[in-house]
Amino acid sequence: MQLLRYILTFAILLFSIPSFATHLADDIEPGDSVNEISLPLTAESAAELVRYTSKGKILSVKEQQYKGRKIFKIKVLHNNGKIKNYRLDALTAHPPQ
């Protein structure tokens, strides 16, 4: 009885792996992930980070100095038609404080 339980458990696990794999993206290439953006940010990586988090269209990216640090001001057009400005510190990838 115990052997039958092990065999059934193994069979369930074995057959569930391919069905789980169908839910994974197969077109992901190295470097396509926001998680792979490195610091300090560049204008391109700052724009990509804001585009990914805001789900909007990037209109412009400007590099500025704020309290002696480099920041990026990114203008984004959202789906509802509103334009919002985001600011990111190049060294931390967070809004400047």
Q: How far does the chain reach from its first CA to its final CA, in angstroms?
A: 65
Q: How confident is the model at residue 4 (pLDDT cuts 50, 70, 90)?
A: confident
Query: Is this prediction's pTM over 0.75?
Result: no
pLDDT on residue 9: 78
The arithmetic mean of pLDDT across residues 62-68, rounded, is 94
Per DSSP, the three-state class of 76 is: strand
Residue 13 backbone dihedrals phi, psi, to 5 degrees: -65, -40
Q: Which stretch of 28-37, 54-63, 78-87 has the lowest confidence by average pLDDT?
A: 28-37
| Type and span of the H or E element at 89 | strand 83-89
d(CA 85, CA 72): 10
Domains of the chain, each with CATH number or no CATH: 38-97 (3.10.450.40)
Check pLDDT > 60 for residue 52. Answer: yes
Residues contacting residue 8 through CB under 8 Å, at least 6 positions apart: none
d(CA 60, CA 69): 20
Per DSSP, the three-state class of 42 is: coil
